[in-house]
Amino acid sequence: MSQDVLDTLIGAGTSTADPQAGKTHFDKGEALEREGDRLGALEEYRKASTFDSKPDYAFRLAYLLDLLGEEDESIGIFEQLAHSDQPHINTLLNLSVLYEDRGEIAKAEKCLKQILDTEPNHERARLYMKDVIASRNMYYDEEHERSQQKHSALLDTPVTDFELSVRARNCLKKMQIRTLGDLLKITEAELLSYKNFGETSLTEIKQMLSIKGLRLGQGLDGQISNYRKEIYEELRGQAPESVLNKPISVLDLSVRARKALQLLNIQSLGDLAMRTEAELMGVKNFGQTSLEEIGEKLGDFSLGLRKLD
């Protein structure tokens, strides 16, 4: 529909304004529509709207356009009518249905709310609102599920799929970091604490993650933090929380073992029991003797290092 016609519909007026001609064409349009000639009726309604800006003429034109599949033009007219000071309820109802069909749920809900704000008990508007809310919830549920599936697939991507140097890949392999999800559970400090892992490899990995909008340690403050929470809950089944919260100092470890735990920011028995042997063995200057020492001391509290499945 041309802008001139749209301007006419909202009362701007044109030089061809002729109410009598408008009524004549509208009446012809109704007669043709009753006879089943929708295309003929459509042409008459267009002419009626050109000669007279009566909302009734514009509404009938928009309604018939929708029936004939001219959805875009129909919505354009309904929107112009809806922007008037007191839009007709049927205009808002029809526009809400068109919006919902196109998946524009927020716009559909806004139209219906405009009706219910003035007529809270309007039966059709209330019924349509229930449908719109159901559609909205379904739409968001589907979007959330797709997002979750996409996110999970990304986290399950093996680190070997990424363009990393041989040194960086080998270091991650020794640390038993197999997937992108595993990598997001590690901090910069933890990576640098491992043997043969230097600033060059760290920069390489950070750049790779940055391209994907990710960062090291992200899993600790986001969704993946649930992973460690689950591990902690399992530990609570092995030992009381009072034991898990005991400081590392109660183990009376050697200086070398104690420094290794400090590098990993391990402060309690629970923190330590969530770690694997591989994680500890990756720390610089940490050897089999220190590993056995920690294993024995944890055993005194009926705990042990975490085993990978």
The answer to whether residues 140 and 8 belong to one domain is yes
What are the pLDDT digits (tens) for 207-251? 888 887 788 877 665 544 565 677 777 888 788 888 888 999 999
Query: Is residue 42 domain-shared with residue 94, that is, in the same domain?
Result: yes
Residue 250 shares a structural domain with residue 127: no
- Domain identity same for 33 and 73: yes
Joined tokens for residue 186? 């590690």
Contact 231, 272 (CB under 8 A): no
Last residue of a domain, one of 174, 192, 221: 221
**Residue 250 and residue 278 in one domain:** yes
* Closest of 75, 104, 107 to residue 61, by C-alpha: 75
Residue 57: predicted pLDDT: 93
118 within domain boundaries: yes
Residue 10: closest CA among 65, 78, 70, 66: 78
Q: What is the pLDDT of residue 239?
A: 83
Pairwise CA distance, residues 168 & 135, whole Å:
48
From 12-21, 118-127, 155-164, the region with the lowest mean pLDDT? 12-21
Does 231 reside within a domain?
no
Residues 198 and 285 in one domain: no
Distance between CA 201 and CA 191 in Å, rounded? 9
pLDDT classification of 77: cutoffs 50, 70, 90 = very high
User: Is residue 243 domain-shared with residue 217, that is, in the same domain?
Assistant: no
Structure tokens at 7: 């301007």
Q: Does residue 232 lie within any of the structural domains?
A: no
Contacts of 97 (CB under 8 A, 6+ apart): 108, 128
Q: Are residues 170 and 139 in the same domain?
A: no
In this prediction, residue 141 has a pLDDT band, given cuts at 50, 70 and 90, of low
Residue 151 lies in a domain: no
Domain membership flag for residue 134: yes
Q: Could you give the CA distance from residue 47 to residue 248 in angstroms, rounded to a whole number?
A: 87
Separation between Cα atoms, residue 261 and residue 218, nearest integer Å: 21
Question: Which pLDDT does position 31 carry in this prediction?
Answer: 95
- Does the structure show a pLDDT above 80 at 3? no
The CATH code of the domain that includes 165 is: 1.10.150.20
**pLDDT band, residue 299 (cuts 50/70/90):** very high
Tell me whether residue 285 is in a domain: yes
Is 229 inside a domain boundary?
no
Share of the chain above pLDDT 90, in %: 31
What residue ranges in the chain does DSSP mark as E strands? Answer: none
Q: Could you tell me the CATH number of the domain that includes residue 81?
A: 1.25.40.10
- Domain count for the chain, please give it: 3
Note the pLDDT tens digit of each residue in 261-287: 888 888 899 889 888 887 788 777 788
Residue 170 resides in a domain: yes
Contacts of 15 (CB under 8 A, 6+ apart): none
| Residues 87, 14 share a domain | yes
Are residues 139 and 168 located together in one domain of the fold?
no
Let me know whether 213 and 267 are in one domain.
no
Question: What local confidence, expressed as pLDDT, does residue 140 receive?
Answer: 58
Q: Is 214 exposed, middle or buried (0-12, 13-18, 19+ CB in 10 A)?
A: middle
- Same structural domain, 15 and 132: yes
Q: What is the pLDDT of residue 188?
A: 77
Structural domain harbouring 292: 237-299
Asked if the model's pLDDT at residue 11 lies above 80, the reply is: no
